[in-house]
């Protein structure tokens, strides 16, 4: 498995805006979707294409279209904030949802929802969540996606702690990780430092 830290100036600039504590929920959401779109441009580099004979206004020619169905799996809630940005680039993608929250005391993920798409087992699957902290939530979501039969799976997040990356690499060595920034550490409450705070609360304005 590989870890790709996508250090593009456009991504770094937008992520810095998101980290600022004074950034509004509206600006936070906009930047999150924009970064998600910029990141999948790189993530989908190996998306398989199939040949198609098409007719331009002038001649017949060979074109190429996306061959494999794409399924996005946002981890609710915060992962939802990345879906629109990705679907702008891949409008045919379907969305399967996994609902998890971290228990405040144990930091373990608690599952409250899971809804696959009918074609998930033969799709190119992208599990999305802005935050990879201890790795518990991502590990659980990847386990659920595999139970659905998903075989080609990638994980994409904005900010990761080194502990989360290590945990994911151990539990799911077959899954590539794409991240905008690998931050320094986790604090005692399980928050990423410097991080950007609670992503779900900032997206939905719940604090
Ligand atoms: C956040 C985040 C991840 C998880 C990461 O969700 O969106 O899903 O924490 O932490 P972990 O790597 O230690 O598991 P949270 O549990 O706060 O739920 P929310 O998205 O509903 O706010
Ligand atoms: N979840 C978040 O939303 N932020 C963190 O820093 C860690 C987990």
Indicate whether 54 belongs to any domain.
Answer: no
For the segment 105-159, what is each residue's pLDDT rounded down to a tens digit?
998 999 999 999 999 999 999 999 999 999 999 999 999 999 999 999 999 999 9
Average pLDDT, stretch 55-74? 97
* Contact (Cβ atoms closer than 8 angstroms) between residue 192 and residue 13: no
Q: Which of 192, 190, 156 is nearest to 175 (CA)?
A: 156
The rounded mean pLDDT for the chain is 97
Indicate whether 188 belongs to any domain.
Answer: yes
* DSSP per-residue letters across 72-130: EEEEETGGGGGHHHHHTT-TT-EE-EEEEEE-TTT--EEEEEEE--TTGGGSEEEEE-S
Indicate whether 61 belongs to any domain.
Answer: no
> pLDDT at position 107, please?
87
75 C-alpha to ligand 2 centroid (Å): 13
> pLDDT at position 207, please?
86
**What is the rounded CA–CA span in Å between residue 78 and residue 154?**
17
Among all bound ligands, the one having the nearest atom to the CA of 201 is 1
Residue 50 has pLDDT above 90, yes or no: yes
Q: Read off the pTM.
A: 0.96
Among all bound ligands, the one having the nearest atom to the CA of 137 is 1
> pLDDT at position 149, please?
98
Average pLDDT, stretch 71-77? 98
> pLDDT at position 194, please?
98
Indicate whether 23 belongs to any domain.
Answer: yes
pLDDT band at 104 (very low <50, low <70, confident <90, very high): confident
Catalytic residue positions, numbered: 102, 106, 198, 201
Cis peptide before 89 (omega within 30 of 0): no
The per-type count for the chain, helices as H runs and strands as E runs, is 6, 13
Q: Whole domain around residue 72: which residue ranges?
A: 3-48+66-204
**What is the rounded CA–CA span in Å between residue 17 and residue 114?**
32
200 C-alpha to ligand 2 centroid (Å): 8
Residue 10 has pLDDT above 90, yes or no: yes
Indicate whether 53 belongs to any domain.
Answer: no
C-alpha triplet 30, 203, 95: angle, nearest 5°: 80
Indicate whether 37 belongs to any domain.
Answer: yes
Look up the CATH number of the domain holding residue 107: 3.40.50.2020
Closest protein CA for atom 8 of ligand 1 = 137
Structural domain count of the chain = 1
In sign, the C-alpha dihedral spanning 150, 154, 158, 159 is: positive
Residue 146, SS3? helix
| Measured CA distances, 65 to 34, 49, 119, 126 (Å) | 24, 5, 18, 19
Indicate whether 13 belongs to any domain.
Answer: yes
Indicate whether 136 belongs to any domain.
Answer: yes
Beta bridge partners of 32: none
């Amino acid at each position: 498995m590989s870890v790709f830290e996508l250090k593009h100036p456009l991504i770094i600039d937008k992520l810095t805006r998101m980290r600022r504590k004074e950034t509004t929920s509206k600006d936070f959401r906009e930047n999150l979707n924009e970064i998600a779109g910029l990141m999948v441009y790189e993530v989908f580099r190996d998306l398989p294409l199939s040949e198609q004979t098409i007719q331009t206004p002038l001649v017949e020619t060979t074109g190429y279209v996306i061959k494999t169905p794409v399924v996005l799996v946002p981890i609710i809630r915060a992962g939802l904030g990345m879906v629109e940005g990705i679907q702008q680039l891949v409008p045919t993608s379907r969305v399967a949802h996994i609902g998890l929250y971290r228990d405040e005391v144990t930091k373990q993920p608690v599952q409250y929802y899971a809804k696959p798409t009918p074609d998930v087992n033969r799709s190119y699957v992208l599990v999305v969540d802005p935050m990879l902290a201890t790795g518990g939530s991502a590990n659980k979501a990847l386990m659920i996606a595999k139970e659905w039969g998903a075989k080609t799976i990638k994980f994409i997040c904005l900010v990761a702690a080194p502990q989360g990356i290590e945990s994911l690499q151990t539990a799911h060595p077959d899954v590539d990780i794409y991240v905008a920034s690998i931050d320094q550490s986790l604090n005692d409450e399980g928050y990423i430092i410097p991080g950007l705070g609670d992503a779900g609360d900032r997206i939905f304005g719940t604090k």
